[in-house]
Chain A
């Protein structure tokens, strides 16, 4: 029957009904229609896209900073400063599950990565991501610039950032300490210039006019002002993707905002360049052919700066050949219809995260997008469905860690919530400043809290490895893991501190460096964990075990109780 279909199609016979927007998934996934329906039902499919992103690969082995403190994790109820260790350790396995599904069921779809491959914005995070991409055979790769790929924890580059509200930090050295490999002082931060260079190096080839790229000073943390990447590439039959850079701060002064994660921006120069790319695409298509476009950008339209949003709406209004805007960033799949100045409605499709739950009960997801055409009228539109990870199907008989277990996925919240908040109001900051001009008491408290949280997370991860199917073959590693799991409290250091052990924010001395030497840290256990990571996929059962615990950890993190706005919600 399949052969018959191929023959009919090849002979140019009557047009066959196209396959539905999403064929049945082959792996542990569920195709779910958006609440408002799939969208355009035109019979001919001109382009298929498999969009995914926000994998947030996390470099566990650096030094904690205020950005990973209990306060930062509780701030505004968005708990992404700290993730469960099982999730940080297994986020790559979740991404691989999505890529396997793409290969198995949607290989004809163009894969688009929506950004935030990194989390802290470290070079090691990007190295891990692109190594995985190479192994999965998805290079060259269409990928957009984003806030976690070039800004520390997605927001900052230096102390002047975030409207000057980084008084509790030691930026940009915090960033450097978080990204350095244990025992070294190497600068391993991933600046925006480095991120866009890496993305540009891995793009499919295109005409010269189809890429607008600059990266002037790769080592300057604040070089984001002169680093950008926008490009156009074909994604289907007479359909092109416009890959926007929503962390393009050439027109917007980022230091007057709360950070790149809170406000995206598109410069006028960028949209001007995109317009010229569209002109070249139209010219290359020749007379009579009218290419269509789908725009991709990391930030949602709602999270763009107001000026950018108005400019973008006017831009879209004058270019009806741009059929939709695909975004990400919020980790929550969604669909929006925007009213453009002319009154025309314009669709935005938001892609979820391969790592995080969008909300309680809403697992990691990707999105399928199609450009469809009515051959009778030539009209085109987009159709889309969500592709959710089916966590129960992924896990099978793997049992989640009991929430009451002291090493449960989110047990770190106990230590986190023992740490008080810091003043954020002007008056509160003034009082704190009177007590100590460098706000030392609050900075020390937050870092001690962060270290206690890390201590428990190291034990939780060690426990996860110890209990994996097949156990731990390496005797020394097993002994180390057992010792780690059993270390409930502090352990006095046995030797004099090294220079690396003393490499902390000067305001945190002596309490934090001393505490750090007595508590467990991922950095100190790096050799053990890195050697074991390679064993996670030696058997299907082990792969399933670690991927399942990553997904269950994400599920647990999305679950109540969680604190929102200083109130504990159960």
Chain B
């Protein structure tokens, strides 16, 4: 019975008793559901459709894909200035340059739900990339999820490997989903489960000589995080002019960490997945990537540093 017929029948039935009773409202549509969507793995063709290698020259991406990247970047102002380092985890330096030299693709997946864009990490030089990249999102039954697999050579230069649109109903129907070929993507594996609780609070000390410090917090893309910090780090022995709080010194240095060349020397930085961000005294942001949250000081030459920052991390 259609909804219209159901309503008509109800009106007739109720009119018989001499009283007109309003029909019960139709059952509400299923509520949007907060889920943990994991981009697991894929298989990618060995060459482009025209037979050229994936890293042969740069392709001008179609505008709608360009726009997806722009929206992802616009949603993450905490990454400002770090464009050239996106794709390079801080604990695997040089991987991006190495990937660019290899003829294989450096695939990643852009996941777009409504206007919200997620970006997996890069799988450098992989034809059968395994990301196991979790992200937190909300899916309504009428939503559709656009999946775009690209060969990442930087925010401005990349090739499209393939893209597809998947109804949310399909994703919500089972825990594991295997999407068949689209474009040069032979298959793409996804997992969807209800989102687990993610709220945590943690305190950590980041020493001025400790390099990148594991915070003990693992972030999931899409998760809201607040980091607050206090304390003092000095970057040149007892020279008081080279001391600052987490906001950094009012000067830059040649020893600044790549990606933060224009930020105050000695400032508090963060890194998650293959992106890095400026934290300073306080930063509230939506995680742009997934993985352990690392914290460090904007100084590549830490041997003569002293002091530490006390950092409080709250995730929602």
Binding site for B on A (CB under 8 A): 251, 268, 271-272, 275-276, 278-279, 282-283, 287, 307, 310-311, 314-315, 317-319, 341-342
Beyond A275-B230, A314-B250, 9 extra complex contacts between A and B, CB < 8 Å: A268-B240, A272-B231, A275-B231, A276-B231, A279-B229, A310-B241, A318-B281, A319-B245, A319-B281
Q: B156 contacts the other chain (Cβ, under 8 Å)?
A: no
Contacts A314-B250, A317-B250, A342-B250; is A279 near B241 (CB within 8 Å)? Answer: no
**Do B281 and A341 touch (CB < 8 A)?**
no
**Can you sample 19 A-B contacts with CB below 8 Å?**
A251-B240, A268-B232, A268-B243, A271-B232, A272-B231, A275-B231, A275-B232, A275-B245, A278-B230, A279-B312, A283-B314, A287-B284, A310-B240, A310-B241, A314-B250, A315-B245, A317-B250, A318-B245, A341-B250
Name A287's contact: one of B231, B241, B314 (CB within 8 Å): B314
- Residues of A within 8 Å of B231, CB to CB, are 272, 275-276
- Residues of B within 8 Å of A276, CB to CB, are 230-231, 310
Min CB gap B314→A, angstroms? 7
- Residues of B within 8 Å of A282, CB to CB, are 228, 282
Contact with A along B304-316 (1 / 0, CB 8 A): 0001001010101
**Do B230 and A279 touch (CB < 8 A)?**
yes
Q: Which of B237-253 contact A (CB under 8 A)?
A: 240-241, 243-245, 247, 249-250
Cα-based distance from A278 to B230 in the complex (angstroms): 8
Binding site for A on B (CB under 8 A): 226, 228-232, 240-241, 243-245, 247, 249-250, 281-282, 284, 307, 310, 312, 314, 316
Main secondary structure of the interface of B (DSSP, over half): strand
Which single residue of chain B is at the shortest CB-CB distance from A307?
Answer: B240
Closest 10 CB pairs of A and B: A318-B247, A279-B230, A275-B230, A276-B230, A272-B232, A341-B250, A283-B312, A318-B245, A279-B228, A275-B245
Which single residue of chain A is at the shortest CB-CB distance from B203?
Answer: A283
Cα-based distance from A310 to B242 in the complex (angstroms): 12
Cα-based distance from A530 to B229 in the complex (angstroms): 54
Cα-based distance from A251 to B314 in the complex (angstroms): 35
Cα-based distance from A272 to B245 in the complex (angstroms): 8
Cα-based distance from A22 to B247 in the complex (angstroms): 37
**Do B228 and A283 touch (CB < 8 A)?**
yes
Cα-based distance from A287 to B282 in the complex (angstroms): 12
Min CB gap A265→B, angstroms? 12
Min CB gap B227→A, angstroms? 11
Which single residue of chain B is at the shortest CB-CB distance from A287?
Answer: B226
Most buried by A among B230, B247, B312: B230
- Residues of A within 8 Å of B232, CB to CB, are 268, 271-272, 275
Cα-based distance from A310 to B314 in the complex (angstroms): 33
Which single residue of chain B is at the shortest CB-CB distance from A315?
Answer: B245
Cα-based distance from A276 to B228 in the complex (angstroms): 10
Which single residue of chain B is at the shortest CB-CB distance from A277?
Answer: B230
Which single residue of chain A is at the shortest CB-CB distance from B284?
Answer: A287
- Residues of A within 8 Å of B247, CB to CB, are 318
Which single residue of chain A is at the shortest CB-CB distance from B307?
Answer: A272
- Residues of A within 8 Å of B244, CB to CB, are 314, 318
Cα-based distance from A310 to B307 in the complex (angstroms): 19
Cα-based distance from A79 to B316 in the complex (angstroms): 61
- Residues of A within 8 Å of B243, CB to CB, are 268, 311
Cα-based distance from A351 to B183 in the complex (angstroms): 74
Most buried by B among A279, A283, A314: A279
Min CB gap B120→A, angstroms? 28
- Residues of A within 8 Å of B240, CB to CB, are 251, 268, 307, 310-311
- Residues of B within 8 Å of A315, CB to CB, are 245
Cα-based distance from A283 to B282 in the complex (angstroms): 11
